[in-house]
Amino acid sequence: MSDCIFCKIVAGQLPSNKVYEDEDILAFHDIHPVAPVHFLLIPKRHVESLAHCDDEHAPLLGKMLALAPKLAKEQGLDSGFRTMINTGRGGGQEVFHLHVHVFGGGSHLPRL
């Protein structure tokens, strides 16, 4: 996926402000935060979106979601946080490499 910006971040060809990394997952701060803390969890392997996932991806998806509270706590989000996965153009996805937004902090988030 040579033109995928998140693959380029994984490959070290684009910079990121890293939060966490293991063999499967990378987490880094969003370049346009919508809250005082806002980071993204991505699989290192290119997966276009949640709509491109099936049972085979369940362990990876589980690992990503299970990491969210751990990393949120490390980032100081003690009173809670919001997770969001935009999927497809209709779901507001702009970068077509699966990512979980984790954000919070400050006073309060708007109601959905």
13 to 52, contacts with ligand AMP by CB under 6 A?
Answer: 14, 16, 28, 30-32
Strand order in the sheet with 25-29: 18-21, 25-29, 37-43, 100-104, 82-84
For residues 104 and 80, the answer to whether their CB atoms sit within 8 Å is: yes
Q: Is 60 in the site for Zn ion (CB under 5 A)?
A: no
Asked whether position 93 contacts ligand AMP by CB under 6 A, the answer is: yes
46 part of the active site:
no
Residues catalogued as catalytic: 99
Residue numbers at the binding site for ligand AMP (CB under 6 A): 5, 14, 16, 28, 30-32, 86, 92-95
